[in-house]
Each structure stands twice: as structure tokens, then as C-alpha cells.
A = this chain, B = another copy of it.
Amino acid sequence: MNSFIFCNPTRIYFGEGAIKNLAKEMEKCGKNVLLAYGKGTIKKEGIYDGIVDILKSCGKNVIEFSGVMPNPTAAKVREGIALCRDGKIAFILAVGGGSVIDCCKAVAVGSRLDGDFWEELYTKRIAAHEAIPLGTVLTMTGTGSEMNSTAVITNEELKFKASFSSEAAAPKFSILDPTYTYSLPKYQMVSGICDIMSHLMEQYFSGTDDNVSDDLNEALMRSIVKNARTAVKNPKDYAARSNIMWGATVALNGILGCGKTQDWEVHQIEHQIAVYYDVAHGMGLAAITPSYLRFICRNGLDKLKRFAVNVWNVDAEGKTDEQTALEGIDRLEAFFKEIGATVSLRELGINDKSKFSEIAESCNIRTGGYRILTPEDIKKILNDSF
């Protein structure tokens, strides 16, 4: 096990009706609250009205920051920073999924910087220690952003999607009500599930030592698979949606990365696909993960065999390690198909390979789990995923 530092102070309020905890959290913060959300889905379901009522009853002055898009852009972050500065914002409440939360993390930290947030956080990569306090109400599950300190932002001009981490950006609290996810379209639910699986695999597929974090990781992968199968059949199965929602949080709150080297190459490739094409993050991950794993199979053979046996219950009897490993990857791909994920770039709406070279060149991969990919490698994976 590698040495590590772990600290995650986000307070979680979990369960049906957990929104009732918002009022006591609002007592701790100042008057001017930035209420951030996406394209207004929360207005259809009464979530918006309920939150605004609580904020008003707590005497808050609410400034709206709406229209945060999937794969949030640097321009949108700058818009939020301007609102915070003009409105002397004391607290940011992000209502939505990972895109809204990530955007708000960059706004929260960026508002306290003298220079431009992208330049400071993503180019110079300074260590930021201050932020406007942030809380979240989660309405889409998958990213884990509700309980970590990382934010992924797309710079449209530079054609680059990148992440920064700062403990100051971690939410002070997150409210997780599984019933808030019931009305999510199936496509988005499935995309979230693929994202969770990818987060788990990105932490798992690295290293050779026997690590308790990997034991826990396998259990969570099996749990997500089991609960996803239930949830796609019955989206209002409270137990399944609860297990997926909390599982998604645990999958990326740092606990499963403790003592581990990690991979994250699939995420880096998907991020660049999303810069060039309008794709749902989780679906992009599902489309390239099987090809990626087949490509690195011989480099990470022991772990891929273990993955096949422990997560997918492949019987290794009478098979070579590679056959076992490949059967595990086949079962992962079959699971993605079964729950309705897109398992090829073509299915994602990418109709030709014209930008594959540019995407591959732009990935800027420097670290990885079992094999550090070159642009040529990435191009092969993109072709295999087509």
C-alpha cells in the first residue's frame, strides 16, 4: 500500500426528504446566496420551488446562476465569477449533477483569485486555499462531485477539458435524496451508471500489490452492476436508486483511492472526445472502455484476470489468463449494452473518423495505470471503439 493523505470533510444528508436539512445549513452562511442550476429541469419537478422557499424563509437574498450546461465551459465559469463578485455572494448552492457542481467549484475558487481562474488553476496549477463556501443538492448521480474537491471544466478556445482539485472547493454539505433522481431520463441514469463504473475502474486498474482498497472497489463494482440491473427495470426502486446514489459518492470520495496508484487514461480520452463532439460523459466512457481494456490487456493481465473472476464471476478453469481477462471485458461490454449504454462511438453519433488524429494528439497523457498511451495508441483505441 502506498503512503497517502486522506481528508474528506463534506457533510452528507442522505435519504428521502433530506432537503429538510437545508435550513439549518443556511443558518451558518451569509445573506447573499448564488443559486446555480442547469437548464431548468428542477423547475418541472418542484425541487426548485422547494429550495427557493427554504432560502427565502431563511432570509436569504437569492441570485440566480442558471443554464449551466453539460461539460461546463470556462465562459460559463467566468459568468458565475462575475455574478459572485457583483452580488457579494457569501454562499453558493449548486442544484443538479456533476456539471453544475463542477462549474460551481471553479466559480467558488475562481472568485477568490486575483487572476483569471483558468490561467491560475488550470495553466499555472496554483494551490488554491480559499473559496466561497459551496453546498449541493444532487439531482443526477454519477460524478461523485458532491463529495470531492475536483472540478472538470472545458476550455472551448483551447479545445481542452481538464480538472483541478482544491480542498477549498469541496462542498461543505451535500443533500442526496434518491427520489430526486426518479424522473431522470433513462439515458442520463445509464450514463451516470457508466460514469460510476469508470471511476471505479480508473482507480482499480493500476498497481500490483494486494490492497484493501481494491477489495472494497470490487465489492462496489458488483453492487453497482446488481443495482443498475434493478434500476433500469424499475427506476422508482428506492433501494436500488439509494445504493446507486450512495455508491456513486463512495466511488469517488477518495476512500477507494487510498494507498493506490491510479489510471484515468479513459477519462482523459473521453474528455477530449467531448471537446470535439457533444456526448454525454458516461456514454463516452462506455464507448471506449472495452477497447481500452483490450488494448492494455497484456500489460495489466493479472489485474484484468482478477477483475474477470472477482467482478464478473468468470470461471478461469481451463483458460489462459488472457482468455479469462478478455472474457471479463466482454462481460463488462455486455453489461453496458444490457442497461442501454452506447458501446461504440458510432452509436454516440460520431459518424466519421476525421477528427480521431486531432483528438488523439490533444489528450496530453503523461501518466497511466499499466501502459502510458501514445497518440498512436489512442488512435487505435478510438478506431476500435468506432
Contacts and interface: CB of A to CB of B under 8 A. Distances in A.
Nearest to A223: B215
A212 interface: yes
| Contact count band on A | 35 or more
Contact of A7 (B9, B215, B216, B239): B9
A246 interface: yes
A10 interface: yes
- Of the candidates A6, A9, A213, A239, the one having the most CB atoms from chain B within 10 angstroms of its own CB is A6
Interface in A195-218: 209-213, 215-216, 218
Contacts of A17: 3
A232 interface: no
A334 interface: no
A219 interface: yes
A178 B218 CA distance: 24
A195 B12 CA distance: 27
A301 to B, nearest CB: 20
A238 to B, nearest CB: 8
Interface string A1-17: 11111111111111111
Contacts of A303: none
A327 B64 CA distance: 60
A6 B3 CA distance: 25
A181 to B, nearest CB: 13
A58 interface: no
Given A215-B222, A222-B215, A259-B14, A243 B7 contact: no
Given A10-B7, A220-B216, A239 B210 contact: yes
B5 A14 contact: yes
A213 to B, nearest CB: 8
A222 B210 CA distance: 13
A5 B9 CA distance: 12
- Of the candidates A213, A215, A242, A259, the one having the most CB atoms from chain B within 10 angstroms of its own CB is A215
Interface of A: 1-18, 21, 178, 209-213, 215-216, 218-220, 222-223, 226-227, 238-239, 242-243, 246-247, 250, 255, 258-259
